[in-house]
């Protein structure tokens, strides 16, 4: 959603950071462009004015103008002010109350209240292990209560039984009573919406609030709404009193103005953001990470957290054990592709990497398609288990069958097999310790390749996962290679060698050249031996005198 704003700001800061020094005029020109970019992104005018004034006051300080990298300092100031505008810290849903904790969902019709209610219920159930009850108070929209019941079955969360003819206030009271009697930790109240704000809607919300006394009142806002979302939040806060905001469709092509304006205008925190249509596409709102995404700095932390949530630790450990043995079959490749798909596909992963915004044109020309992962998995799933474990069995006739079963061509099957072969060879090289000089060095030091550490030197480096060598390892090294000399001391003989040459060896003469005789003379007066090598009396080399001067 912030793609357009991110591109504009990146272009402004690129021009700014290329300057060796900055003056007030340079900063004013850059901030004028920042102001224009924020207004085009539908950010509220009051928020834009406050934002630009804060950045200007900090950027024109002597510490910035005289800095070694003033352009980078201005970028940091913009980042800091943006984090303050979005909210300094993350504020998740507050569950610190006596159960059942009531959470009331409010908003306009079509903002995504019912789906968001199910998303929050699944999140509280899976992550926080809370027993959740959902209740639909929407008696106006056709099949609204049935929709929530269907979503509840999909995510295995209880929903309040539907009784026709009850008012929203009666349903809210019944939900509170059922949650208390049946031992639920959280009760979610999905209220009705309107296409626009009217008095009847506000009066109904106030009655439900008075009857159920919810601990949290979350306003669900469509992030594509634009500046009107700020007025919406103001009206709901004045009449009902919201405690937080949930932004939906954050993955859309909106300009992001609502997200930047909400906190600054209402003073209420953005608690959650909907990042997709799937029931688990809901994330906490981290102001610093969103600011980093807007400024093109990526969001590595969210990517790592997402990977940690989706990766099965036990499965990953088994995979690591196989890789240490140098084994990597097509089933392993399929698991890796499925993992990448869970992380949002290629585009989702690359969107969280720093600097990818500047490579937008190159990525577009590369025709990166997330469906490639699905196609490759379909090819692998069209194979028999035996073929996946032993790809060498796949010959021409089997390739035709696999291509037909997956709806692909034989050429696509060949590409996948070649890709797997290259990866398998790489894994075998790592797992078997066949890494050239590095592998030899590891074996010399008593190790067993990458999987077994580096012997005494490794000291906890098994699999490259440990720390520094321990005191016992250092002592063993000293015992093996001898005591190291102190700085400035005579190093003495190397360990394993005699302290002095053995007696009885002849001494070298004072003039080493006397060891080498004159070269024998050949007929015609030419010296013997190889031409240009002098007269060294060594068999097969003629006469070579290393101490003779060049002629």
Is position 248 annotated in a ligand binding site?
yes
Residue range 312-354+365-431 forms a domain whose CATH class is mainly alpha
Domain 101-285, classified CATH 3.40.50.300, yes or no: yes
Is position 450 annotated in a ligand binding site?
no
Is position 377 annotated in a ligand binding site?
no
Is position 496 annotated in a ligand binding site?
no
Is position 185 annotated in a ligand binding site?
no
Question: HSE on the CB side for 222, CA within 13 Å?
Answer: 16
Is position 251 annotated in a ligand binding site?
yes
Instruction: Compute the distance between CA of residue 145 and CA of residue 491 in angstroms, rounded to an integer.
Output: 87
Q: Are strands 158-159 and 244-248 parallel, antiparallel or unpaired?
A: unpaired
Instruction: Compute the distance between CA of residue 540 and CA of residue 428 in angstroms, rounded to an integer.
Output: 47
Report the 10 Å Cβ neighbour count for 506.
5
Is position 233 annotated in a ligand binding site?
no
Is position 17 annotated in a ligand binding site?
no
Instruction: Compute the distance between CA of residue 331 and CA of residue 323 in angstroms, rounded to an integer.
Output: 13
Is position 368 annotated in a ligand binding site?
no
* Domain residue extents for the chain: 2-86, 101-285, 312-354+365-431
Q: What is the predicted pLDDT for the residue at 462?
A: 34
Nearest to 455 by CA among 469, 438, 437: 469
Is position 210 annotated in a ligand binding site?
no
Q: How far is CA 328 from the centre of its chain?
A: 24
Burial of 66 from C-beta contacts in 10 A (0-12 / 13-18 / 19+): exposed
Distances in Å between the Cα of 430 and the Cα atoms of 64, 324, 389, 422, 464 are 48, 7, 20, 13, 12
Peptide bond into 322 cis (omega under 30): no
Is position 19 annotated in a ligand binding site?
no
The answer to whether the CB of 194 falls within 8 A of the CB of 109 is yes
Mean pLDDT by 10 residues, the chain (551 residues): 69 71 78 86 85 85 60 80 86 91 92 94 93 94 92 95 92 95 95 85 91 93 80 88 90 71 85 89 86 67 64 73 78 83 69 58 61 87 90 90 91 90 81 49 38 35 38 51 43 44 49 47 46 47 50 49
Kindly state the DSSP code that residue 506 receives in the 8-state scheme: P
Buried/exposed code over 337-372 (b: 16+ C-beta within 10 A; e: otherwise) = bebbbebbbbebbebbeeebbeeeeeeeeeeeeeee
Is position 194 annotated in a ligand binding site?
yes
Is position 58 annotated in a ligand binding site?
no
Is position 159 annotated in a ligand binding site?
no
Q: What is the predicted pLDDT for the residue at 368?
A: 63
Report the 10 Å Cβ neighbour count for 484.
10
Q: 254 is written with which tokens?
A: 């909106």
**Are 101-285 and 312-354+365-431 equal in CATH topology?**
no
Count of residues in the chain:
551
Domain 2-86, classified CATH 1.20.120.140, yes or no: yes
Report helix, strand or coil for 325: coil
Indicate left, alpha or beta for 504 from its phi (over 0: left) and psi (-120 to 50: alpha).
left
Is position 190 annotated in a ligand binding site?
yes
């Amino acid at each position: 959603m912030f793609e357009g704003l991110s591109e504009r700001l990146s272009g402004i800061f690129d021009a700014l950071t290329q300057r060796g020094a900055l003056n007030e005029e340079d900063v004013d020109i850059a901030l004028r462009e920042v102001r224009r970019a924020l207004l085009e992104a539908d950010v509220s005018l009051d928020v834009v004015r406050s934002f630009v004034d804060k950045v200007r006051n900090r950027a024109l300080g002597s510490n910035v103008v005289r800095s070694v990298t003033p352009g980078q300092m201005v970028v940091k100031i913009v980042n800091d002010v943006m984090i303050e505008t979005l909210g300094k810290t993350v504020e998740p849903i507050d569950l610190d109350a006596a159960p059942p904790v009531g959470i009331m969902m409010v908003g306009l019709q079509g903002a995504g209240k019912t789906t968001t209610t199910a998303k929050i219920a699944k999140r509280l159930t899976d992550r926080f292990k809370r027993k959740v009850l959902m209740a639909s108070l929407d008696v106006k929209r056709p099949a609204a209560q049935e929709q929530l019941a269907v979503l509840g079955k999909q995510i295995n969360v209880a929903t309040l039984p539907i009784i026709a003819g009850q008012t929203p206030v009666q349903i809210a009271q019944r939900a509170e009573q059922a949650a208390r009697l049946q031992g639920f930790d959280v009760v979610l109240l999905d209220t009705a919406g309107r296409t626009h704000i009217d008095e009847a809607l506000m009066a109904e919300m106030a009655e439900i609030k008075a009857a159920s006394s919810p601990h949290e009142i979350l306003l669900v806002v469509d992030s594509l709404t634009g500046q009107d979302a700020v007025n919406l939040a103001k009206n709901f806060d004045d009449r009902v009193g919201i405690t937080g905001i949930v932004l939906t469709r954050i993955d859309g092509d909106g300009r992001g103005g609502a997200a930047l304006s909400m906190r600054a205008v209402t003073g209420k925190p953005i608690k959650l953001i909907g990042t997709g249509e799937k029931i688990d596409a809901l994330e906490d709102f981290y102001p610093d990470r969103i600011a980093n995404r807007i400024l093109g700095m990526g969001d590595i932390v969210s990517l790592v957290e997402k990977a940690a949530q989706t990766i099965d630790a036990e499965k990953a450990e088994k995979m690591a054990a196989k890789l240490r043995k140098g084994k990597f079959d097509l089933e392993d490749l399929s698991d890796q592709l499925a993992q990448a798909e869970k992380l949002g596909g290629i585009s989702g992963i690359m969107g969280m990497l720093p600097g990818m915004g500047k490579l937008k044109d190159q990525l577009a020309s590369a025709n990166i398609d997330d469906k490639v992962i699905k196609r490759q998995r379909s090819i692998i799933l069209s194979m028999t288990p035996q073929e996946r474990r032993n790809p060498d069995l796949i010959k021409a006739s089997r390739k035709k069958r696999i291509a037909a079963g997956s709806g692909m061509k034989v050429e696509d099957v060949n590409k996948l097999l070649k890709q797997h072969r290259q990866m398998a060879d790489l894994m075998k090289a790592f797992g078997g310790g066949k890494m050239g000089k590095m592998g030899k060095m590891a074996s010399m030091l008593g190790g067993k390749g990458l999987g077994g550490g580096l012997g005494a030197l490794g000291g906890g480096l098994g699999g490259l996962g440990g720390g520094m060598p321990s005191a016992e390892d250092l002592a063993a090294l000293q015992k093996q290679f001898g005591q190291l000399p102190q700085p400035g001391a005579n190093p003495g003989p190397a360990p394993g060698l005699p302290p002095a040459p053995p007696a009885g060896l002849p001494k070298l003469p004072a003039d080493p050249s006397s060891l080498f005789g004159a070269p024998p003379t050949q007929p015609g007066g030419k010296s013997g031996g190889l031409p240009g090598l002098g007269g060294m009396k060594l068999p097969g080399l003629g006469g070579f005198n290393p101490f003779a001067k060049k002629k």
